[in-house]
Amino acid sequence: MASGIVKRQARLADGRELIYFDDADTRLGPERRIDTRALEPRPGTAAMRLDVLTGEWISIAAARQNRVVLPPSDRDPLAPQTPLNPSEIPDRYDVAVFENRSPAFGPALPPLVTGAPPAPTGLADLAEFGLGRELTAVGRCEVVCFSPEPTGSLGTLGTSRARTVIEAWADRTAALAALPGIEQVFPFENRGEAIGVTLHHPHGQIYAYPYVTPRTARLLDAAERLGPGFLGDILDFERAGPRVVLAGAHWTAFVPFAARWPIELHLLPHRHVPDFAGTDEAERAELAELLPRLLRGVDALYGTPTPYIAAWHQAPVRVGRDALRLHLQLTSPRRGIDTLKYPAGSEAAMGAWIGDIPPETAAARIREALA
């Protein structure tokens, strides 16, 4: 842990892991109440099926249909528990991480109990084609609560709290990557009803996949074509051009040359770092200042909170670690005050994107909003 940030481990009533990360300047004491709820057993682990048309694995996770959707503020499942609100977190916290009750992957990990579809045995097994292939969707899905407050987002956090969130991402990246059967770890934040969030409480998630995701597979293909240093080359290209919106000693944010979304930002570290676990203290400290500022700039574009997906791409656990660099890809469908871009026929069906706003124009607008 970084200097002053404290990690405290606990369990929820049904056995799920719960981890508290206390700010360096926390006002909380060391003790936490235990979870005394009477909970039903967790749903079984989902299965995943191979789409032979694309080579992609699709998790069929029916238990996710039972998720709470936009509950009233007095039934916030991510707020600290009260006598009237039996939420997921039994006590006050700064940052809290816990296993999702109805995950898309997990909670089973290899070896599996008899009678379940087989677990993947590695990347070679996952690459085999065949009609009707089905495997257990082993893995782990975790919820990262950025604050006990019911409203806000990562961009509204102060520097100390943002630093704690980054420490949680780094800790969980290392821990999840070490679990059996995990091939990639993905921290992300969905923000806004237009994106499809089911809870307004400021939070993100971390998925630990049993395979290398399709997006990352395309990045690995790019590394084969362009060389293992291609993300560094892209960073150098963008830093010399007109699309940089924010830069520090260790990180640079820019609108990419071929942006497809009305708002799209990439944020890269200046040195090669495969994942959050590989970042050093100086990089984490600067990110805690730059990231909330960048997100506040996105909100300032139109004066109201902007829906977005903040996706942290990390290198897989076993392949591509010398080629793929940690980076943020932030995308938003917002192309006006009350106007959204919907991926429709060309984008959704054919994967052929049409950009609505020139990237240079978008970068100039974001720089103005940041100022």
Residue numbers annotated as active site: 203
Pairing of strands 184-191, 134-136: unpaired
Helix (H) or strand (E) holding 230: helix 230-239
10: left (phi over 0), alpha (psi -120 to 50) or beta: beta
Closest CA to 59 of 46, 70, 40, 42: 46
CB-CB neighbours of 323 under 10 Å: 20
DSSP assignment string, 267-322: EEESS--SSGGG--HHHHHHHHHHHHHHHHHHHHTTTSPPPEEEEEE---SSS-TT
Roughly how many angstroms between the first and final C-alpha of the chain, as a whole number?
33
Task: Report, in this order, helix, strand and coil percent for the chain, each rounded to 5.
Answer: 25, 25, 50
Q: Provide φ and ψ at 208, rounded to 5°.
A: -110, 105
CA dihedral sign of residues 183, 188, 193, 198: positive
Dist. CA 74–CA 54, nearest whole Å: 44
The angle, 0 to 180 degrees and rounded to 10, between the axes of the packed helices 214-226 and 230-239 is 80
- Beta-bridged to residue 21, according to DSSP, are 7, 95
